[in-house]
Amino acid sequence: MALLNSCPVGYMKSQIREITVEDNSYMICEVERTHLNYVCTNCKQQTYFLQQLPFKSRGQTALFSLEPTTIHRYPLFLQEAHEAVPDSVQKYFFETEKCFEIGALNGAATCARLTVDEIGRFLEAKGGDLNERLNKLKEAGTLSEEIVSIAHDIRQLGRNGAHAEWTDVSQEQAESMMFMLREILRELYITPFERDKRRMTNLKSKKVSPTSQV
């Protein structure tokens, strides 16, 4: 069993269980590639990975890297939107995911900034620019200080992606950015929605006597 931090399909924090490891790995140019299939224990969706494990040969001993490289994954991004996330926010989030998956890191950072901006606009934030709008949302208590701090990190990285004269967005920065953006969506929309849904389900399952005092 392999445990990952979040579901590649639904971006939920849950266990990802390895359900298939095909015994058909093959060798190309001193690189072993293996096929892996995972299922999320939360959303029950499957994700396929093609990974390579580079190694150096010492006689008959192969020293494999501890961190495999993912060559291909399917699905590439969230195929079905969560109903709690507003359509206008989903639009830019999906563009961010698509750019990230094909390695267009500057484009991903720019779209991530657009996603944060749209979140602010959806919350009717006031201000002349994104920096001011985020700060006003914090002052009004609409967004927590932690969420605003993360949003500012994404905003600043998005400026790098949009300006050729600035430093390009690195793979490490992009991966951290994607994690933070998914966390914002989960914190703002998905977690409250799922919590309220469970609460309503629990209320409906309770049998209340007509004479009971509530």
What's the CA gap between 187 and 149, in Å, rounded? 14
DSSP for 22-39 reads -S--EEETTEEEEEEEEE
> Is the pLDDT assigned to residue 56 strictly greater than 70?
no
> Is the pLDDT assigned to residue 64 strictly greater than 70?
no
> Is the pLDDT assigned to residue 3 strictly greater than 50?
no
> Is the pLDDT assigned to residue 163 strictly greater than 70?
yes
Mean pLDDT of the 137-160 span: 94
Which tokens is 85 given? Answer: 């996330």
Per-residue pLDDT at 55: 55
> Is the pLDDT assigned to residue 12 strictly greater than 50?
no
Helix (H) or strand (E) holding 14: none
Per-residue pLDDT at 40: 72
Per-residue pLDDT at 204: 74
Pick the residue with more confidence: 156 or 49?
A: 156
How confident is the prediction for the chain on average, in pLDDT?
77
Per-residue pLDDT at 1: 37
Per-residue pLDDT at 75: 67
Tens digits of residue pLDDT in 68-114: 677 777 766 555 668 899 999 999 998 998 898 888 999 999 999 99
Which tokens is 23 given? Answer: 């015994």
Mean pLDDT of the 19-29 span: 46
Q: Where are the domains of the chain?
A: 1-55+66-75, 87-190
What pTM was computed for the model?
Answer: 0.64
Tens digits of residue pLDDT in 113-131: 999 999 999 999 999 999 9
Q: Which CATH number fits domain 87-190: 3.40.50.720, 1.20.120.330, 1.10.287.610, 3.40.30.10?
A: 1.20.120.330
Helix (H) or strand (E) holding 78: none
Burial 165-200 (b: 16+ CB within 10 A, else e): eeeebeeebbeebbebbbbbbbebbbeeeeeeeeee
Tens digits of residue pLDDT in 167-213: 999 989 998 999 999 999 999 998 899 889 888 877 777 655 555 55
Q: 3-class DSSP state for residue 94?
A: helix
**pLDDT-derived band at 54, boundaries 50, 70, 90:** low
DSSP for 100-135 reads HHTT-HHHHHHHHHHHHHHHHHHTT--SSSHHHHHH
> Is the pLDDT assigned to residue 4 strictly greater than 50?
no
